[in-house]
């Protein structure tokens, strides 16, 4: 088979090449999927640089989620040949003709879900649902502030936050991205590059602060929003797109009766939890009812994978970039 492979860590523009490599053989509980669509994620940029928490042995293939048709199954696989399946591969591997999925982190895809939708919603909606529901316990009537709100996980958080009955404050870096947030249900929009984030949140919340803060960005933005949490509020740490891992004073946590919680969605899969699969089928129902709608910024053919990564790296993207065969 062929795959986008890198044999040393570096920038995708110089280390990622379309090469021939052996087709993997499914082991126990695994299936081999012939690729139809792969959604790119921010971690793909980190994987090729060796900066992601999971490092596959070199030479390696990026791509953490993908959809396709099962071509072969290993012993104990829950799939059969011909099933359409979507899978999450923590260490990468989906940017290839074929990739392996494991029972714990792959699901069949119902007929009403397109390849592109299935590829676009596993990681983003999984992350945002587990962050908001399981970790932050977001309640109807609460205020949810979303940083990086026009990104992949950010838009999913807006849509799910609205479904859960929250008032959503979306924070993004330009007017076009904020308009996308508005179209996806955000009640209040803050341009966190041009506006005083702390003052705007105080104004919007009557001085109280937001009940839940969803943070996939970190860095300087975290330093600001940690001052905008309501009494009994929760900050959910999702990621560090800004690059710097920030910190928080414990007296601030005490004085606001605040909780700072982390969410690593992939851990639920790695530990064999049934919850992600249940959530996935709930997302498919929500999609059928038009309650959620994964935003796909661009669909590109496989030979334009570099362009897809460039779109994410340049921050021009809102929602998802999907690569199709
Ligand atoms: N914890 C988990 O389980 C989990 C799962 C999935 C993703 N993540 C993490 O969540 C973060 C966001 O992922 P995503 O897929 O939503 O990415 P994305 O689509 O690229 O969105 C990231 C957003 O962050 C904002 N941002 C601020 N500073 C940035 C910078 N220096 N570089 C790039 N973006 C910056 C951008 O919005 P503006 O341009 O509007 O500022 C962008 O829209 C990543 O760190 C990722 O690793 C975590």
Cβ 264 under 6 angstroms from ligand 1: yes
d(CA 203, CA 196) in angstroms, rounded, equals: 11
Is the domain covering 2-109+295-324 a CATH 3.40.50.1110 domain? Answer: no
Q: Which distant-in-sequence residues (6+ apart) come within 8 Å of 177 by Cβ? A: 149, 150, 318
Three-class secondary structure of residue 322 per DSSP = strand
241 alpha carbon – ligand 1 mean position (Å): 4
Regarding the beta carbon of 43 and ligand 1, being less than 6 Å apart is answered: yes
Strands 65-73 and 188-191: unpaired
Tell which residue, 203, 207, 208, 173, has the closest CA to residue 188: 203
Q: Is the CB of 104 under 6 A from ligand 1?
A: no
pTM above 0.85, yes or no: yes
Listed in sequence order, the residues at least 6 apart from 190 whose beta carbon sits closer than 8 Å to its beta carbon are: 169, 170, 171, 178, 197, 200, 201, 204
Nearest to 30 by CA among 73, 80, 93, 84: 73
**Residue 262 CA, closest ligand 1 atom number:** 1
Is residue 103 within 8 A of residue 29, CB to CB? The reply is: yes
- How many Cβ atoms are within 10 Å of 200's Cβ, its own excluded? 18
| CB of 308 shorter than 6 A to ligand 1 | no
Ligand 1 midpoint to CA 75 (Å) = 37
The domain ranges of the chain are 2-109+295-324, 123-266
Question: Please, are residues 167 and 187 in contact by the beta-carbon 8 Å criterion?
Answer: yes
CA distances from 53 to 44, 47, 87, 315 (A): 11, 8, 19, 22
Tell me the CA–centroid distance for residue 185 and ligand 1, in Å: 19
Query: Which atom of ligand 1 is the closest one to the Cα of 266?
Result: 3
Domains 2-109+295-324 and 123-266 equal at CATH topology level: no
Per residue of the chain (325 residues), give pLDDT as tens.
999 999 999 999 999 999 999 999 999 999 999 999 999 999 999 999 999 888 889 999 999 999 999 999 999 999 999 999 999 998 899 999 999 999 999 999 999 999 999 999 999 999 999 999 999 999 999 999 999 999 999 999 999 999 999 999 999 999 999 999 999 999 999 999 999 999 999 999 999 999 999 999 999 999 999 999 999 999 999 999 999 999 999 999 999 999 999 999 999 999 999 999 999 999 999 999 999 999 999 999 999 999 999 999 999 999 999 999 9
Instruction: Say if ligand 1 is within 6 A of residue 54 CB.
Output: no
Q: Distance from the CA of 45 to the center of ligand 1, in angstroms?
A: 11
Q: Which CATH class is domain 123-266?
A: alpha beta
Are 67 and 119 in contact by the 8 Å Cβ rule? The answer is yes
Residue 49 CA to ligand 1 centre (angstroms):
16
Give the C-alpha distances (Å, rounded to integers) separating 320 from 14, 18, 21, 206, 300.
23, 22, 28, 34, 11
- Distance from the first to the final alpha carbon of the chain: 13
Alpha-carbon span 190 to 277, nearest angstrom: 34
Q: Are strands 210-215 and 143-146 parallel, antiparallel or unpaired?
A: parallel
Q: What is the pLDDT of residue 176?
A: 97
């Amino acid at each position: 088979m062929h795959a986008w492979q890198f044999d040393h860590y570096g920038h995708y523009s110089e280390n990622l090449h379309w090469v021939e490599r052996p087709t993997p053989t499914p082991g126990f509980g695994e299936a081999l999927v012939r690729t139809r669509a792969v959604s790119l994620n921010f971690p793909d940029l980190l994987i090729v640089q060796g900066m992601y928490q999971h490092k596959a042995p070199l030479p390696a293939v990026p791509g953490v989620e993908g959809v396709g048709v099962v071509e072969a199954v290993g012993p104990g696989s829950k799939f059969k040949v011909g099933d359409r399946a979507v899978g999450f591969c923590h260490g990468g591997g989906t940017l290839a003709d074929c990739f392996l999925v494991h029972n714990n982190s792959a699901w069949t895809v119902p007929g009403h879900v397109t390849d592109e939708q299935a590829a676009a919603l596993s990681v983003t909606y999984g992350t945002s649902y587990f962050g908001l529901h399981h970790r932050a316990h977001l309640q109807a009537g609460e205020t949810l502030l979303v940083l990086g709100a026009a990104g992949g996980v950010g838009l999913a958080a807006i849509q799910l936050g609205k479904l859960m009955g929250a008032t959503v404050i979306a924070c993004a870096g330009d007017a076009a991205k904020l308009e996308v947030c508005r179209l996806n249900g955000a009640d209040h929009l803050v341009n966190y590059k041009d506006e005083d984030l702390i003052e705007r949140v105080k104004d919007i919340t009557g001085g109280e602060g937001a009940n839940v803060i969803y943070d996939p960005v970190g860095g300087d933005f975290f330093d600001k929003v940690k001052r905008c949490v309501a009494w009994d509020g929760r900050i959910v740490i999702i990621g560090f797109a800004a690059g710097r891992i920030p910190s928080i004073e414990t007296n601030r946590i005490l004085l606001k009766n605040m909780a700072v919680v982390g969410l690593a969605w992939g851990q639920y899969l790695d530990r064999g939890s049934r919850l992600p699969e249940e959530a996935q089928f709930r997302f498919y129902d929500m999609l059928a009812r038009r309650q959620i709608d994964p935003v796909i910024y661009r669909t590109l053919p496989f030979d334009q994978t570099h362009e897809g990564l460039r779109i994410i790296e340049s921050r021009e993207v809102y929602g998802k970039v999907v690569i199709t065969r």
